[in-house]
Structure formats: C-alpha cells, structure tokens
Structure 1
Amino acid sequence: MADSTRPELPGVLARMWGREPAPRRGPKPSLDLARITKAATEIADADGLAAVSMNNVASRLGVAPMSLYRYVGSKDELLLAMLDAAAGEPPSPDGLSRREYLARWTRANVDLFVARPWLLSIAERPPLGPRGLLWLERLLAALDDTPLDDNEKILIGTTLSGYARNEASLIITLEGSSKDGTEPSSAAAYGELMAELVDEETYPRLARISRGRVFAGGDAAWIDEGDFWSSLDLLLDGIDSLIARRRGANTRP
C-alpha cells in the first residue's frame, strides 16, 4: 500500500530523478527530458531566456510543440529542468579545509552565473533537482565538523549562494553598461564622476572617499578579484566566528 503521507512528485521532477515508471510496451520514445532540456539550454545560451518557448524548442528538435508536453507540463517545469542541468557538478572538496572549500564553492557559483547570465533570473528558486541538491549536499558536508545546527548550515548555503548571485549580477551588469557607454567604464572613472557630483556639506563622507584612493585604479575593469575575495572573507569570518561561539557555548560547564 502506498504511503499517503509522501508527496506525489510532479512529472518533471520524477523524470529528473529517474523515478518515472518505464513504459512496458511500444516503441522507444524519440524524445526524452534530457534532449528537450539540452535544446532549450542551447536556445537560452544563444538568444537569452526570453527566446525559450515550447514552440522554439519544438522547432529546434523538429517535432510538434504538443509532443513536448509529455515530458514537461509547462515552461516553468522546463525552466526547472534547465536550471538543474546547467548547474553541472559542484566542486570537489579535494582535501580542502572548510573555509577553502566554502570559498571555492562560492566562486564556482559566480563562474556558473557569469557563463550563463540567463540563469540569474531563475536561480532564486530552491534547488530540487539532483545536481542542485548535490551542490547543497557538498556545502553541508564541509560543515560536518562544526557544532552548527542544521538550520544554521542551510542559512550559510543561502547566504553564500546569494552573495554569488549578487556578485555575478554586478559583473554582468557593469560589463554590459560600460560597453554601451551608459555607465563609467572603470572604478577610477566612477570615482572621478562622483567627485564632480557630491559636495562636502551634504555628502561629506562620499566627498572624502571619492577624492581619495578608494576608486583609484587607472583603467582597470570595474570588478576586481581582490574586492570579491575581501567581501567573501567578511562572510567567511562571520561563519568562523559563529562556529567559535557555538563551540564555546558547548564547552561551558
């Protein structure tokens, strides 16, 4: 007898996890979720997420649009499959320390989004596919030797993935705007523009900063690797501090 307390998996999730019952008779289907997802991903890579539609995917595969609905019930289901497929494999621990692995995990997230900017618009949904959940599993494994509770570990994953999305969004936005001339082309140019705009009475702190060395850097690109790692260090320092506090609390008499 089936367990009535277990949720019934939506069709696309069952297929992503290999849980869909295999057909007993008849010819092997010419389509499968992997082929559909690959075609949709290729369209998104070439023309952006807005170009992904059931009609366009069907046309790329040379089939009728209605034939896709046996595998994906809607565009939202297709996006869920695309998000998981694009995630790929999470970085391997490779004997890294906890802090080193969390840094590598976060950097890999940034690289993933920068390589496929269209992922940013769908990546805020919680992971449900096998690849997305493996990323979360690897991060949790890096926290195994800490006294943090499960909720705190999940929050760390949410915080680091959110930082990665924000960093990737900043890279993509600034690179695009500097190319079309709508924004300053470098941090130095931004500092010069700010210095021209702000006055010392209303914006005393920004006036001091803009006239200092904070935005100096010649014509270097907006996004500096040092800035990324410095900001990430702030988050990792906070995680280390939380772990130290929990360990201290657990050793008190």
Structure 2
Amino acid sequence: MEPARRLSPMLERMWGREPAPRRGPRPRIDLATITAAAIEIADADGLAGVSMGSVASRVGVAATALYRYVGSKEDLLTSMADAVVPAPPEPGGRPWRDYLAQWTKAQRDIVLEHDWLLSISRFAPPLGPRRLLWLDRALAALDGTGLDDGEKINVASSLTGYALTDAALVHNAGSGFGEFDETDIGGVSDYGDLLAEVLDPETYPALSAAVRAGALGGVEGWVDDEDFRFGLGLLLDGVERLIARRASEGRTR
C-alpha cells in the first residue's frame, strides 16, 4: 500500500496544519499577512507588480524572510487565489437552481473585482480552504436532486468555468482587446465592425448575417448581465433536465 501523499509546506500553512514553533520570539509576519500584502499590490498594479521583493517591502521585512512562509511566487499565487475569496453564500434551504444562480454570479463578480485572478484561476483546481468551501456549498445545494457525487462536482465545475469565461469577456469588453492592438480593436463594437468588414457572406453565411444584424454591436448586454443571465439559464436548464432524467430512472432520494 502506497503511503498517503503529504501536503506541501505551503498547503500545510494554508490549512493551519503547520506545527507552531515551541521556542523563540513570535514571528513578525505570517502567511496571512504576506498574502494580504500581495493581494493589495495585485489589486493596485496587477500581477506584474507582485514579486517577493515588492511584498517584502510592503510588510517591512527582507525578501529572504518571506521564504520561511512562501517557497516560491507560484506558492504565493496559490495562497492569494484562495485568500481573496470571501465566504460563499449559504444555501439556506433555497431551491438548488436559485442558489446556484447566485453562487455562479458571485464567483463571476469576485473575478471582476480582482481581475488578476483570470491569470491564475482558469485551470487551477481548488486546493485552499476557502475555495473548497464554495465547492462544498454547491454540492450541498444539490442534495436530494438524484445526482450522484461525480455529477454534482461536474455541475459545480461547469458553472465555475462559465463564471470565469464570462468575467474574462466582461473584462476584455471594458478594457479593449489588448493582444490585437495593431488592429485598433478597442472592444466588442470594434470587433463586430471588423468582422462585418472581413466576413464573406458566401463562406460564413450564418455568422455574417448575425454580425450584420448587430449581434456584436455593443457591450451593454455584458455590462448589464443580460448575456450572463442568458447563458447561465441555459446551463441551469441543462442541469434541470439531467435531474428530471435521473428522477425518471428512479434515482431521486
């Protein structure tokens, strides 16, 4: 039998499982202090401003002192991605659909408030206590639906992915399509104008018609949540259909 995999020192600290030192003076800093300083820098200057040196300067210690708590910048980003997340909304006996709609929008709004999360959270599975609490609450909301545990996790993962994708669209719509600066695409409206210019209706008949009808004419839908609610409704409709199918198979508990 293989031995259980040990948590990394960083995860031990995040979960409060690192043994406290028995002797010596109380440390001036801890992981929470370091992480909070890094989040402040990222909120102000983006991830480009976060370095071991800048964080050390913010908390008033030498950069080398941080390595007692954070092994690398990657470890620091992992801690930041968890610490910046507030407590999830509680299901409170609400219908699963109402709760998961709020749960998904809340995740999207967190990323919009801290857009640097887009660079580190898209493909990272939750490892910290706060993000895993969000997963726990989503699974709890789906109790009694007839979905098995794997299906519940897949539902939560799909909704989280949607929240991140929509946050990226909103962020890009508001700040411009930076990677295409040479084409002067400043946002969704400019993107639609460009597509209307280059699309050949014979080769792209459906897309060309949609663009020329104004489907990409502005960002108001994203800003006002109209497009977000539409897509979220499609996803939740699919979950509802899956639950109904499981009920017809006799799996509702």
In structure 1, what is the equivalent of residue 89 of structure 2?
A: 91
Instruction: Give the structure 2 partner of residue 9 of structure 1.
Output: 7
**Cα offsets for 1:147-167 (capped at 9, x unmatched):** 111111111111111101100
Over residues 178-208 of structure 1, what are the superposed CA-to-partner deviations in whole Å (9 max), with x where a residue is unaligned? 7989335555x65555444333322222232
Of 22, 25, 30, 1:24 maps to: 22
TM-score (norm 1): 0.88
Whether contact under 8 Å (1:84, 1:131) holds in the other structure is yes
State the shift of 1:243 in Å.
1.0
> Are 2:237 and 1:237 equivalent residues in the alignment?
yes
Structure 2 unmatched runs, 5+:
none
**Alpha-carbon RMSD:** 2.4
1:61-210 aligned at under 5 Å gives the runs 61-123=59-121, 124-177=123-176, 182-183=184-185, 185=187, 187=189, 191-210=192-211
Alignment length (residue pairs): 247
Residues 186 and 220 of structure 1 are in contact (CA less than 8 Å); yes or no, is this contact kept in structure 2?
no
Distance (whole Å) between structure 2 residues aligned to residue 185 and residue 9 of structure 1: 43
* Residues in 2 aligned to 1:193 and 1:66: alpha-carbon distance in whole angstroms: 50
Change (3 A) 1:69 1:113: same
- State the AA in 1 paired with 2:31: L
Q: Do the aligned residues in 2 keep the contact of 1:58 with 1:68 (CA within 8 Å)?
A: yes
Which whole-Å deviations, capped at 9, do the CAs of 1:16-51 have from their partners, x for residues lacking one? Answer: 111111111221111111110011111111111122
Deviations 1:58-86 (A, max 9, x none): 11111111111111111111111111101
Q: Which amino acid aligns with 2:48?
A: A
TM value normalised by structure 2: 0.88
Q: Distance in 2 between matches of 1:119 and 1:215?
A: 26
State the AA in 2 paired with 1:182: D
Instruction: Confirm or deny: 8 A CA contact 1:174 1:183 kept in the other structure.
Output: no
- Distance change in 2, residues 1:68/1:238 (3 Å): same
Q: Paired residue for 1:248?
A: 248
Aligned to 2:45: 47
Whichever residue aligns with residue 89 of structure 1, its letter is A
Structure 1 residues without counterparts, runs of 5 or longer: none
Q: Taking structure 1 as reference, are residues 152 and 197 closer, same or farther at Cα in structure 2, changes over 3 Å only?
A: same
Contact 2:70 2:76 in 1 (8 A): yes
Which of 18, 43, 59 matches 2:57? 59
Per-residue CA shift, 1:97-145, capped at 9, x if unaligned? 1001111111011101111111111112111111011000000001111
Q: Distance in 2 between matches of 1:82 and 1:76?
A: 10
Following TM superposition, by how much is the alpha carbon of 1:239 offset from its aligned partner in structure 2, in angstroms?
A: 0.7
**Quick check: 1:185–1:222 contact (8 Å CA) kept in 2?**
no
| Distance 1:45-1:213 versus aligned 2 partners, 3 A rule | closer
Misfit runs of 4+, over 6 Å: 178-181
The share of aligned pairs that are identical, in percent, is 53
Q: Secondary structure at the match of 2:83?
A: helix
